[in-house]
Chains A and B, each alone.
Chain A
């Protein structure tokens, strides 16, 4: 129950930051994906089941506010939440650099899935064009932003475990 409440609060904060802070900046370039970073961290710490459910909740919320179709982002984040949580159970690795590698891989996976759906539902004319123009900047931004977040979370988790 406590974890669910913490998760709901975290989703709300991240969502507002993405909509207001990142959405409040005008730029020609790609923008970081805070909800994806939160999902990776959550799934990594809590396993495949919570990761999958978190992916569903975050994805649905994002679809309602930022995407033209329901399910577009939900599909991608459900799969990513599951895979990250499952990877954590199979690869016991506490190194934050490894987590960044996971972050990079899921950014690419998210890009592939979204570009594919956009192409299939005629919301984009070129799967490859969309993928190439968006993935590399997103990969860089997400990994750069995730690094301090993961470090801070790790420090907080270690401090909490002492008590």
Chain B
């Protein structure tokens, strides 16, 4: 059978693409290795672009406000964001589950982690994945699997680290899986992003769990990756099927992923 040269050419390149796909699927560290080299250039441009945007915004703002007021404002905003995060995710969790135990046992809990401020320099340029790029990397002390939060709650975790950048997988992405607990009932489940519409779903939540719309969902701390007690979102929809073991629950994240500001990395 004689194949037309055009078709042969096309099949060759499609086959080559498929080989690349198969190899990189088997050896997942190939793409990040190649990306690390490229980020040395792209990262510089992204940081420069952010610098230009920030400078332009500052110039316009300077027309109406003084330099001193703006600096004070930034410091206060960062402090408020830290306090809000602690209030929403950490303190309320302590009050609801540990207060009585502390009184009974004379237990004094220390804050196990510190919050390091960071900033986003780039967002997903394509629609298929929900990731952002931070302006700090390995040289600034960022490590893989570090958890990222803001004043509203859980943002995501670091999945790739380069010398001066880091890629964060947002909790709303389909590849994101977080061990969580419904705060009111204590039922545990896995929170997985749905990719579209910015919502998530609770997987493996038993049908007998008595969760309701409006219930707060926090990280469970199981697995050791995500610290316990970080606010993740609120239940927006519950669908129970008596013939199924698990119920279908949708969660609206507490974080507005369209407006990510004042981010923090959790350093244990």
Give the interface of A toward B (CB within 8 A). Answer: 16, 18-28, 30-31, 33, 48-49, 52, 56, 59-60, 62-72, 74-75, 78-79, 82, 86, 114, 117-118, 121, 123-125, 129-130, 132-134, 137-138
Chain B 109-136, CB-CB to A under 8 Å as 1, else 0, gives 0000000000011111111110001000
**In the complex, what's the smallest C-beta–C-beta distance from B266 to chain A, in angstroms?**
22
Q: Which residues of chain A are within 8 angstroms of B260 by Cβ–Cβ distance?
A: 26
A72, B19: Cα distance in complex, Å: 10
30 A/B residue pairs, CB under 8 Å, sorted by A: A20-B122, A21-B49, A23-B46, A24-B46, A24-B121, A24-B122, A26-B259, A33-B126, A48-B6, A49-B9, A52-B13, A64-B35, A68-B28, A68-B129, A69-B24, A70-B34, A71-B17, A71-B20, A71-B21, A74-B17, A75-B18, A78-B10, A78-B14, A79-B14, A82-B10, A129-B195, A132-B196, A133-B195, A134-B196, A138-B127
Query: Which of A19, A49, A124 is most buried by chain B, counting CB atoms within 10 A of its CB?
Result: A19
B42 in contact with A26 (CB, 8 Å)? no
Q: Which residues of chain B are within 8 angstroms of A56 by Cβ–Cβ distance?
A: 13, 16-17
Q: A48-B6, A130-B128, A130-B195 are in contact. Are A24 and B21 (CB under 8 A)?
A: no
Size range of the interface on B? Answer: 35 or more
A70 in contact with B20 (CB, 8 Å)? yes
Closest to A72 in B: B21
Q: A20-B45, A72-B21 are in contact. Are A123 and B175 (CB under 8 A)?
A: yes
10 cross-chain pairs, A with B, having the tightest CB-CB distances, nearest first = A71-B21, A133-B196, A71-B20, A23-B125, A28-B258, A75-B17, A70-B24, A70-B20, A74-B17, A23-B122
Interface of A is mostly: helix
For the complex, is B87 an interface residue (Cβ under 8 Å from A)?
Answer: no
Give which listed residue, A30, A75, A79, A124, contacts B21 with CB less than 8 A. A75
B10 in contact with A79 (CB, 8 Å)? yes
**In the complex, what's the smallest C-beta–C-beta distance from A70 to chain B, in angstroms?**
4
Q: A123-B175, A125-B174 are in contact. Are A74 and B20 (CB under 8 A)?
A: yes
Give which listed residue, A19, A30, A72, A134, contacts B45 with CB less than 8 A. A19
B258 in contact with A71 (CB, 8 Å)? no
Q: A21-B49, A26-B123 are in contact. Are A67 and B13 (CB under 8 A)?
A: no
Give which listed residue, B31, B45, B121, contacts A64 with CB less than 8 A. B31
Q: Which residues of chain B are within 8 angstroms of A75 by Cβ–Cβ distance?
A: 14, 17-18, 21
Q: A28-B198, A28-B258 are in contact. Are A18 and B21 (CB under 8 A)?
A: no
A143, B16: Cα distance in complex, Å: 30
A44, B43: Cα distance in complex, Å: 32
Query: Which of B19, B20, B121 is most buried by chain A, counting CB atoms within 10 A of its CB?
Result: B20
A2, B23: Cα distance in complex, Å: 34
For the complex, is B224 an interface residue (Cβ under 8 Å from A)?
Answer: no
Q: A24-B46, A124-B195 are in contact. Are A118 and B17 (CB under 8 A)?
A: no
A39, B101: Cα distance in complex, Å: 64
Q: Which residues of chain B are within 8 angstroms of A23 by Cβ–Cβ distance?
A: 46, 122-125, 133
A132, B196: Cα distance in complex, Å: 9
A27, B258: Cα distance in complex, Å: 5
